[in-house]
Amino acid sequence: MGDVRDVEFTAFVASQRPRLFRLAYLLAGNEHLAEDIVQRALVKLYGSWKRVRRANSVEAYVRRAVVNSHLDEGSRPWRRERPGIELIDVAEEPVGLSVEDSDALWAALRALPVRQRRVVVLRHYWGLSVEETAADLGVRPGTVKSQTSAALQTLRARLLVTIREGDQ
């Protein structure tokens, strides 16, 4: 039988991996890259699991590890984001939206610049406060607010165009 760390960590990964993958996918927009991001974050977390489990919020610590792994990924020139990413089923359909509207929403989200997408995912998909989002991303709350504002303005404009095109 493995040590306590192995048992705890394995149970944690079994229960949280799908959610961590959805976060990584929404940040990266690519299934394979999301797997790499989660894997790198989990490797780092395993090495420091004693410290992680003593954190005030294990969820926040782990979420920050995934975000940091995504940030690290973006700094690698051979792994920059590419347009034309595929859509996989990362979440249940947003409540009250048709399949077409949901597809348009996910496409608009994937088209956002990376920094704006990170903020929108953490604020509106994960439901974090401005302060929690700022802490996860290592930025000031004002940056979160301005990125959120710009992202929502872009999303509204893109979705309005999609709606108008659908009416024609």
Q: How far is the C-alpha of 109 from the C-alpha of 134, rounded, in Å?
A: 20
CATH number at residue 8: 1.10.1740
72 and 120 together in one domain: no
Cα–Cα separations (whole angstroms), residue 52 to 6, 9, 12, 14, 57: 13, 10, 11, 16, 9
Residues 25 and 37 in one domain: yes
Backbone torsions φ then ψ of 97, nearest 5 degrees: -110, 145
Same domain for 29 and 84 = yes
Claim to verify: residue 98 and residue 72 sit in the same structural domain:
no
Q: What are the distances in angstroms from CA 13 to CA 30, 97, 99, 140?
A: 21, 31, 31, 30
- Strands (DSSP E) contained in 39-105 are none
CA distance linking residue 102 with residue 81, whole number of Å? 23
Q: Are residues 1 and 83 in the same domain?
A: yes
pTM exceeds cut of 0.95: no
Q: What is the pLDDT of residue 4?
A: 77
Q: What is the per-residue pLDDT for 156?
A: 87
Residue span of the structural domain in which 136 resides? 91-168
Say yes or no: 84 and 127 in one domain. no
Q: Are residues 5 and 79 in the same domain?
A: yes
At residue 80, does pLDDT exceed 80?
no
Domain count, the chain: 2
Q: What is the pLDDT of residue 143?
A: 95
* pLDDT, tens digit, 9 for 90 and up, residues 109-142: 888 998 899 999 899 888 889 999 999 889 999 9
Q: Are residues 14 and 57 in the same domain?
A: yes
pLDDT digits (tens, 9 = 90+) for 26-76: 888 888 888 999 999 999 999 889 888 888 888 889 999 998 888 877 655
List Cβ neighbours of 34 (8 Å cut-off, separation of 6 or more). 21, 24, 25, 27, 28
In angstroms, the CA 160 to CA 163 distance is 5
Beta carbons of 19 and 122 less than 8 angstroms apart: no
